[in-house]
Amino acid sequence: MSNYSWDYSYFKKEINNKSIKLFVNKYLYSNIPVSAFDQLESISKIQEIVSPIVSHADIHPGFSVPIGTVFLSPKKNGIISPSAIGNDINCGVRLIKTNLFKADLTKELLIKIKKELVSLPIGLSKEGYKITMSDLNNILDNGINWCIKNKICSAFDKSKIEANGCYTAATSRFVSKKAKERAILELGTLGQGNHFIDVLVVDKLFNNIISKKFGLVKNQVVILIHTGSRGLGHQVANDYNLLCENKSPFPYFKFNSKLGKQYFGAMCAASNFAFVNRELLSFAIKSKLSVIFVGQKKLKFGLVCDISHNIASIENINNLDYIVHRKGSTLVRKNNPIILPGSMLDNSFLLLPGKNISMSYNTLPHGLGRSMSRTDAKENIKFNDLISLMNKKKILLGGRSENVMREEQPCAYKPSKEIISVLEKSKLAKIVMSFKPIIVVTG
């Protein structure tokens, strides 16, 4: 790994006639694994990828390219890569506001809520929402519109979801039979790994006017869901990675090739499935919690936002159309909120774009980024010690797998104060509010 030079708000390097920009501070830079730098620099070897290549403060090694990366390729003669998008297509986060407040939640109620959340189809559950193959194809092609038609959510929610909850280029016939067989059992399930359902309270307000605009005030209870396209997305990625004729430095298609167009249609279909997956989880959570509050309070949910962070989209930048790959990074739209999830102990944040957001192709980090591998994180803490740590902080922890909880332990992630510091100093984002976790449920 050769050194990058510091340029006030980011590190930079010239390689293969391209620039790489790393929006990290000196502390985070010194802790990036060599393998992440190697993966980042490998992107520059593909001629059809334009300069600069950008990575964020949550950068850590992924499959083929590092998580926390965004790069562009011209639509006219560019490339699209299943591995650079990732196996969990349209993995994303959804923020829901409730009409509950911290004062409404006694210790007994919190325990009941955690129990109900753990009873949902979390982990690698195949006990999803019951649908037919006809339903599935409709979902793949039409996304959240299927939910509206079936009265699972209102048409108003579309405006809060990225791409209005439906990528119109989706083509269900480009999704394999095997992928569909996996999907039909997993709709409305959480998945494993870093997927979670968190119950949080609004902790600090940094902008009262904008906070009120989103209908959020101090001590209000919110729910944060992190999941994606489950086995469907994984299978789509596997299917098309095997078909890539170009394998180095990672598998990719020419975007305008027959297979490139088919993959894009299948990726959009998997993205539509992910939108519906998060919507059905929201529906199930509200149903579970409503039972707890019967006779006390009529529970109300309101969608704040639903955003993606493993996806490729076609965007016009400086009057040219590009295929924009985002792996573990989030597209920012003007005046739309972005969620930066924290760790089990660190706060999560609601952000708005800053004045320099165009420097990162209108992209922000998708989270804090791992600082430990899953193996190291698991070996670093015993389960009883993790529970004790969470109890001391008055946070309830639940899940199906003790091993997954240990893999997702707080020290496995970078400190939120460092990530937020980078975003503020580089003027990529403005902080609106923070959320403190009170219940964490892992996959």
Q: What are the distances in angstroms from CA 80 to CA 11, 107, 236?
A: 26, 50, 14
Q: Which of 275, 261, 202, 198 is nearest to 232 (CA)?
A: 275
Identity at 311, one-letter amino acid code: I
Decide if 12 contacts 4 (C-beta within 8 A). yes
Q: 216 in helix, strand or coil?
A: coil
Q: What are the distances in angstroms from CA 208 to CA 213, 217, 338?
A: 9, 8, 17
- The DSSP element (H or E) to which 134 belongs, if any, is helix 133-142
CA dist 92 and 238 (Å) reads 20
Would you state the structure tokens that stand for residue 341, as one six-digit string? 């999830």
Would you state the structure tokens that stand for residue 139, as one six-digit string? 């979902």
Identity at 19, one-letter amino acid code: S
Q: Find the catalytic residue in 56, 309, 325, 366.
A: 366
By DSSP bridging, strand 396-398 and strand 429-442 are parallel
CA dist 336 and 109 (Å) reads 33
Within 10 Å of residue 115's Cβ, how many Cβ atoms? 13
Would you state the structure tokens that stand for residue 406, as one six-digit string? 């240990």
Decide if 110 contacts 394 (C-beta within 8 A). no
Establish whether 226 is a catalytic residue.
Answer: no
CA dist 105 and 130 (Å) reads 32
What is the Cα Rg of the chain in Å? 21
Distance of CA 315 to the CA centre of its chain: 19
Q: 245 in helix, strand or coil?
A: coil
Q: Which of 197, 105, 206 is nearest to 434 (CA)?
A: 206
Q: Which long-range contacts (CB under 8 A, 24 or more apart) does 33-37 make?
A: 33/60, 33/61, 34/1, 35/61, 36/60, 36/61, 36/66, 37/1
Identity at 248, one-letter amino acid code: S
CA dist 191 and 189 (Å) reads 6
CA dist 334 and 424 (Å) reads 17
Q: Which of 70, 64, 29, 43 is nearest to 309 (CA)?
A: 70
Within 10 Å of residue 41's Cβ, how many Cβ atoms? 19
Active-site residues, by number, are 366
